[in-house]
Structure 1
Amino acid sequence: MAHTLKPLTVAIVGRPNVGKSTFFNRLVGRRLALVDDRPGVTRDRREGEAKLGDLALTIIDTAGLEEADADSLEGRMRAQTERAVADADVSVFLIDARAGVTPADRHFADLLRRSGKPVVLVANKCEGAAGEGGFYDAYSLGFGEPVPFSAEHGLGLADLVLALEEHASEDAVPGSARRDEESGPVRVAVVGRPNAGKSTLVNKLIGEDRMLTGPEAGITRDSISVDWQWKGRPVRLVDTAGLRRKARVQAKLEKLSVGDALRAIRAAEVVILVLDEKSPFDKQDLQIADLVTKEARALVIAVNKWDLTEDPKSRMNEMREMADRLLPQVRGMPLVPVSGLTGHGLGKLMEAVFTIREKWETRVPTSALNRWFGALMEHHPPPAVAGRRIKLRYVTQASNRPPTFVVFGTRTEALPESYRRYLLNGLRDAFDLVGVPVRLHLRKTENPFEKGS
């Protein structure tokens, strides 16, 4: 019997001018809400239908929650918003990550808690480094892990869907109240310089000549997505255009291809960087690898054209040394010799993809993290700087995909970079996170579990 999609009703709430209407437009896919830089543009409740993945939604855009007299226009707007929260299955509480958590945000967090309805906290405007501080401050609102989002650029939709599915009924998601992340395909982008053999490699993996190939560089201009299975596990492979140096990106068409490749990297979970065995780790290869790690995607390096290698063992030792020296931020990443022409090493390549993805999704148990941190502080506490002690009180894992940790303490801004690297390397070694990007943030705040400290 077919499931009827009973929409999940979602109210978008937050103080004025945090981007609620832009967020609403992004979800419904149309510019139904008026957007302006002035606060308070939205006055009435506005509804729209949205379909995100398997999830059917009724979205309610509301006026900014403002403290105001009940008889004033602002007061009536607030009453409309409170009714929307009461009518909704779940509220999306939007904050501006660039502005950080404000007293108004804290006031309305209390109001939402009193409503008794589920709340998904979304930190909007998270694109770029400017939103990082506000994103981590959002934990202090008490709604758990915030969803990093950019309504302007459409980043974070997948994480938002997973958060909303936690509150969906069986009618809203066909067959299940929650969708297991493993049920979706593993998203893999194949990137590299022009003529490194990416399309030949993808064709050999899927067992058909799906991609146009040839000796000419730059044949692939669009990112081509292929749904495929490896040992019964679904994979979405994306073959991308070759990424050239910026100075060589002249033609408008190629500029578009590069942009498409960058979007493929951002949408991927694992990125396979294809190198040419005869000229590996040139400047452009390293720039691409750096881009992948900055986007915090799991990286697998495929050394292609291995069938032409004369001394495989010594060459692999040389490649391993080069990889770890030139890419220390993902030291120990999988390095797999392959041949897109003969199929050599493709099984090991896909094994590496699934292994590194599992590490990239690691969630460290809180008890194990606390034991590790306590032992570290006891045996090697932070050094004193300018005669004053730095005290690191507590560590938490803020998120996975990639593993992201936050250390709370006093005078964290004075912590030497060498000690920060020590913490990062300790996390990698203790919890088998070698080879994946690991993020570590330092926050100057009290331990949230120590009341009144």
Structure 2
Amino acid sequence: MTPVVAIVGRPNVGKSTLFNRLVGRRIALVDDTPGVTRDRREGKAKLGDLTFTVVDTAGLEEADIDSLEGRMRAQTEAAVESSDIVLFVVDCRAGMTPLDEHFADILRRTSRPVILVANKAEGREGQAGLLEAFSLGLGEPVPISAEHGEGMADLYSALVGHFPDPDAEDDPPSDVVTDTDEADEEGLLARPLKLTVVGRPNAGKSTLINRMLGEDRLLTGPEAGITRDAITVPWEWRGRRVDIVDTAGLRRKARVEGKLEKLSVGETLRSIRFAEVVLVTLDATASFEKQDLQIADLVIREGRAIVVALDKWDLVEDRGAAMKAAREQVDRLLPQIRGVELVPVSGLTGVGIDKVLDAAFRAREIWSKRISTGRLNRWLSGVLEHHPPPAVSGRRIKLRYMTQAKSRPPHFIVFCSRPEALPESYTRYLVNGIRETFEITGCPIRLTLRKGDNPFAED
């Protein structure tokens, strides 16, 4: 089993920078502002020949348990409890603070091995703090510079003694399925669903994901904009794997302020780009706003499959009228994804959790659908007989051939005589016909017009 290493320490000592260094990518938000990280984030790390799961955590602060800082500390404590090794990071340049001493005293009582990591130890400014770190009573500190990559060999030496000896591990029994065994198409080794949850701030995204997972994995509360990082949580639902991603709420562009919020928005956009299905979360108690439309339109432009979740459904009184109004608004304002599934859910009570996941897996199947060229051209022949393209400048446009170039999302190519002259209204007519005939709902359809080569044309 892969060891789990938790990185803890007070705010702004470089925990996220060290996390990015160990995973080899800049996936955790880093800024000079203290308290950037709020949720715990996991990543696959490699240091020399050591491979392990590393967990980035929020800065440790003394605060009331009901406050935001108190809830952040509870997330960090949960990460420590579930880890095998703890890296306690201190800032050499700032010196040892009473907060460092307080949490060092707490970590000395834990049963997990604790490695004291003295960050920002490069240069003369860090030497005094390095010597001062001995006073914490956690053994010899490991001097590093997470930003510049210095001291990683020393960190390796401190970690390797706490890792299991690979030669001492027994071989798995012959009846145990390993990664090298062949997997059934419907087995647990099938590709996981990449599901990203997006929406406005305080729409209930993190609460909904916690209800799905059955634990308080993500930080929640009444404050808007708690989530900053895009947090990926591997999960299994009814024997099917899901990589579910919680994202920061997207506000109107004019209201996005400061470098930190811009970084959070960038993380959300990146998560949408790498998703298969995007769960657009709407607040069922609030009216459908322009920002909801812009979020959905952004997902459509990226070509992702969509499921719409009407969250906080437990607070809706007239549910029949609310569902009817939501359906009318979505069909009228988002014709590009006509037929998208609307699922009423409640992160508080758990209503609709199974339905929304069923809808997500169906959306991925539709998004990945391929249609044979023969079926497409038989359909095209019927369309041309029923409603041929218009004559432009006295000349009829000829649609000769149609094929599907790719899926995810479905992309079709129509070869015609004068693609630049075909009206946009007829292109929409073709797209709507494809959607209705081949039941491609809940995802965008790409249609490209291309002029076929004429072998008799002169060079």
Normalization by structure 2: what TM-score? 0.58
2:398 is aligned with 1:391:
yes
Q: State which of 257, 262, 287 in structure 2 corresponds to 1:255.
A: 262
Q: Distance in 2 between matches of 1:303 and 1:284?
A: 15
Any residues of structure 2 matched to 1:197-236 within 5 Å, and which?
Answer: 197-236=204-243
2:264 is aligned with 1:237:
no
Q: Distance in 1 between matches of 2:258 and 2:414?
A: 46
- After superposition, the C-alpha distances for 1:202-251 in whole angstroms (9 at most, x for unaligned) are 00001110000000001100000000011110000000001111111111
2:282 is aligned with 1:267:
no
Q: What is the Cα deviation at residue 413 of structure 1?
A: 0.6
Distance 1:441 1:176, change over 3 A: farther
SS in 1 for 2:444: coil
Q: Distance in 2 between matches of 1:185 and 1:223?
A: 18
Q: State which of 330, 333, 340 in structure 2 corresponds to 1:326.
A: 333
Q: State which of 307, 316, 339 in structure 2 corresponds to 1:309.
A: 316
Distance 1:221 1:384, change over 3 A: same
- After superposition, the C-alpha distances for 1:310-362 in whole angstroms (9 at most, x for unaligned) are 11112111111111111111111111111000000111111110111111111
Q: What is the Cα deviation at residue 434 of structure 1?
A: 2.3
Whether the aligned pair in 2 keeps the contact of 1:397 and 1:405 (CA below 8 Å) is yes
Q: Distance in 2 between matches of 1:320 and 1:180?
A: 33
Question: What does residue 374 of structure 2 align with?
Answer: 367
Q: Which amino acid aligns with 1:422?
A: Y
Distance 1:378 1:386, change over 3 A: same
Whether the aligned pair in 1 keeps the contact of 2:376 and 2:403 (CA below 8 Å) is yes
Q: Distance in 2 between matches of 1:179 and 1:312?
A: 39
Q: Which amino acid aligns with 2:372?
A: P
Question: What does residue 449 of structure 2 align with?
Answer: 442
Q: Distance in 1 between matches of 2:272 and 2:409?
A: 14
Q: State which of 414, 420, 436 in structure 1 corresponds to 2:421.
A: 414
Question: What does residue 140 of structure 1 align with?
Answer: none
**Tell me, which stretches of 5 or more residues in structure 1 are unaligned?**
1-28, 31-172
Single out whichever of 407-416 and 371-380 deviates more from structure 2: 371-380
Question: What does residue 352 of structure 2 align with?
Answer: 345
Q: What is the Cα deviation at residue 280 of structure 1?
A: 3.7
Question: What does residue 298 of structure 1 align with?
Answer: 305
Q: What is the Cα deviation at residue 380 of structure 1?
A: 1.7
Give the % identical residues: 61
Q: Distance in 2 between matches of 1:194 and 1:433?
A: 30
Question: What does residue 62 of structure 2 align with?
Answer: none
Q: What is the Cα deviation at residue 281 of structure 1?
A: 2.2
Whether the aligned pair in 2 keeps the contact of 1:190 and 1:237 (CA below 8 Å) is yes
Q: Distance in 2 between matches of 1:310 and 1:405?
A: 44
2:434 is aligned with 1:427:
yes
Distance 1:419 1:194, change over 3 A: same
Distance 1:299 1:313, change over 3 A: same
Q: What is the Cα deviation at residue 446 of structure 1?
A: 3.4
SS in 2 for 1:398: strand
Q: What is the Cα deviation at residue 452 of structure 1?
A: 6.5
2:389 is aligned with 1:382:
yes
- After superposition, the C-alpha distances for 1:133-180 in whole angstroms (9 at most, x for unaligned) are xxxxxxxxxxxxxxxxxxxxxxxxxxxxxxxxxxxxxxxx95579999
Question: What does residue 289 of structure 2 align with?
Answer: 282
Any residues of structure 2 matched to 1:21-36 within 5 Å, and which?
Answer: none
Q: Distance in 1 between matches of 2:427 and 2:363?
A: 24
Q: Distance in 2 between matches of 1:358 and 1:254?
A: 34
Q: Distance in 1 between matches of 2:384 and 2:181?
A: 47
Question: What does residue 155 of structure 1 align with?
Answer: none
Any residues of structure 2 matched to 1:78-227 within 5 Å, and which?
Answer: 174=180, 183-227=190-234
Q: Which amino acid aligns with 2:387?
A: H
Q: Distance in 2 between matches of 1:278 and 1:178?
A: 43
Q: Distance in 1 between matches of 2:186 and 2:381?
A: 33
Q: Distance in 2 between matches of 1:324 and 1:262?
A: 24
Normalization by structure 1: what TM-score? 0.59
Q: Distance in 2 between matches of 1:446 and 1:272?
A: 42
Q: What is the Cα deviation at residue 425 of structure 1?
A: 0.5
Q: State which of 377, 399, 403 in structure 1 corresponds to 2:410.
A: 403
- After superposition, the C-alpha distances for 1:4-39 in whole angstroms (9 at most, x for unaligned) are xxxxxxxxxxxxxxxxxxxxxxxxx99xxxxxxxxx
**Tell me, which stretches of 5 or more residues in structure 2 are unaligned?**
1-23, 26-178
Q: Distance in 2 between matches of 1:187 and 1:452?
A: 49
Q: Which amino acid aligns with 2:334?
A: L
| Cα RMSD after superposing both structures | 2.4
**Aligned residues, how many?**
281
Whether the aligned pair in 1 keeps the contact of 2:193 and 2:243 (CA below 8 Å) is yes
Whether the aligned pair in 2 keeps the contact of 1:392 and 1:412 (CA below 8 Å) is no
Q: Distance in 2 between matches of 1:378 and 1:217?
A: 55
Q: Which amino acid aligns with 1:377?
A: L
Q: Distance in 2 between matches of 1:180 and 1:347?
A: 19
Q: Distance in 1 between matches of 2:226 and 2:192?
A: 27
- After superposition, the C-alpha distances for 1:264-319 in whole angstroms (9 at most, x for unaligned) are 00000000011111224211111100000000000111000100111111211111
Q: Which amino acid aligns with 2:367?
A: W
Q: Distance in 2 between matches of 1:328 and 1:408?
A: 25
Q: Distance in 1 between matches of 2:185 and 2:414?
A: 31
Distance 1:230 1:390, change over 3 A: same
Whether the aligned pair in 1 keeps the contact of 2:308 and 2:340 (CA below 8 Å) is yes
Distance 1:379 1:177, change over 3 A: same
